[in-house]
Structure 1
């Protein structure tokens, strides 16, 4: 398991991509792309906009409160334990499995907030990865070589336990 040290938490507060106030504004950017979503609200809002994500990573919560808008997706279901502030091998394995054979929904027992990092590393070039930025909107990261390099650098501040 990888744990994010307290000293590096601030690195993850700024958007890892382009921040949009709502899903509607980024729809033109994700047309004709594979779409991967992290978070219950982002996934719910994508479905509301008529977009079914190829992969969704959800935990049943939003901002640490139960999410009453958890999406119901008809896709293969995977499960992974992932405590807050960590990226577990179990989560990485579930992401790799989903990416190799989409569509898939990964239900996280714990917290899915940091899943965007291994998701970008596993995603094919050209994929649109979306996640919520609490109180601000939704972040879109189009996967390219730079995105993968930045995700790798972010992963380097974690400590293996």
Structure 2
């Protein structure tokens, strides 16, 4: 048993893989020093990464029962104390970061320090066979335990909304930006201003509904992903003919009757988000049926830092940032659907 072991990393959105790493360290060391990358270094990789205090707090909360054996520290460079620590005798890593530990021991040897015992841990695998990682969580692929955001039922059937879910959907979900009903572009311009100014936004901007999609088009900032069905308030809308489909890189078509969420719609949503993330291509989805329930799929699928907007008849636009909270709420609602 080592007296002190070292662990270093970003520890963004503390997940099952992080916990596995720390548990391996605790199994081999009396005490652990956990060095958490500072904000400047972390956000140079991805500005969606949580602040240092948030990351430290999540780690402490998740390892509370071992608090007497774990200390947290700020990591301000690549190596931290690992090159010249004489109190630590072990370093814990994943198989992916093993090379960095070998480099540390090489540099320690050149400076006359004993090598650290390298304790390597296999990465924890998520539901789809790929390792759990903070980047995959930020990209909306998995939750912190490696589980999917979309329930399996939606991949094998076309589930139908229940009365219980319908009642819950009446609860506010997002921030209302008020504007005149006759010109929703006023609210759209205000929404664009808020989105552009926000440090949270990393895209895509997702607009749901013909009126909303046209409003962003007329405001000079078409949505990155648009979903339309040719209707407003469940009636055919003349303004739909003014939507310029040529503004989008991809046109996707699907079927989704009122009150249901089909595999056809799910596939279109997945394709549009994938196209934006991989190639920054915009997409417009034309739904035969209704697109009203599509945000319940879009929030679970979209990356953290994206934003979903839809119209609120007679009042303006609703804006809802995509974060873990929105994903959890939508997944819980999806679990309330019945098999189609």
TM class by smaller structure: over 0.9
Shift of 1:8: 3.0
* Distance in 2 between residues matched to 1:138 and 1:132, nearest whole Å: 5
Kept in 2: contact 1:15–1:133 (CA 8 A): no
* Distance in 1 between residues matched to 2:316 and 2:168, nearest whole Å: 18
Cα root mean square deviation, aligned: 1.4
Kept in 2: contact 1:56–1:105 (CA 8 A): yes
- Higher helix proportion (structure 1 or 2): 2
* Distance in 2 between residues matched to 1:108 and 1:63, nearest whole Å: 15
- In the alignment, structure 1 residue 25 sits paired with structure 2 residue 190: yes
Structure 2 unmatched ranges of 5 or more: 1-157, 179-186, 277-281
Structure possessing the higher relative contact order (Cα contacts under 8 Å, 6 or more residues apart): 1
Shift of 1:19: 1.2
CA shift digits 1:29-64 (9 cap, x unpaired): 222642111100001111111111110010000001
* Distance in 2 between residues matched to 1:54 and 1:151, nearest whole Å: 21
Runs of 4+ residues over 3 Å off in structure 1:
none
- Higher strand proportion (structure 1 or 2): 1
* Distance in 2 between residues matched to 1:38 and 1:82, nearest whole Å: 14
* Distance in 2 between residues matched to 1:91 and 1:119, nearest whole Å: 10
SS at match of 1:112: coil
Pick from 269, 275, 296 the counterpart of residue 117 of structure 1.
Answer: 296
Give TM-score, length-normalised by structure 1: 0.93
Give TM-score, length-normalised by structure 2: 0.46
- 1:4 maps to 161
Q: How many corresponding residue pairs?
A: 161
* Distance in 1 between residues matched to 2:256 and 2:234, nearest whole Å: 14
Greater CA radius of gyration, 1 or 2? 2
Structure 1 unmatched ranges of 5 or more: none
Shift of 1:72: 1.4
- 1:72 maps to 244
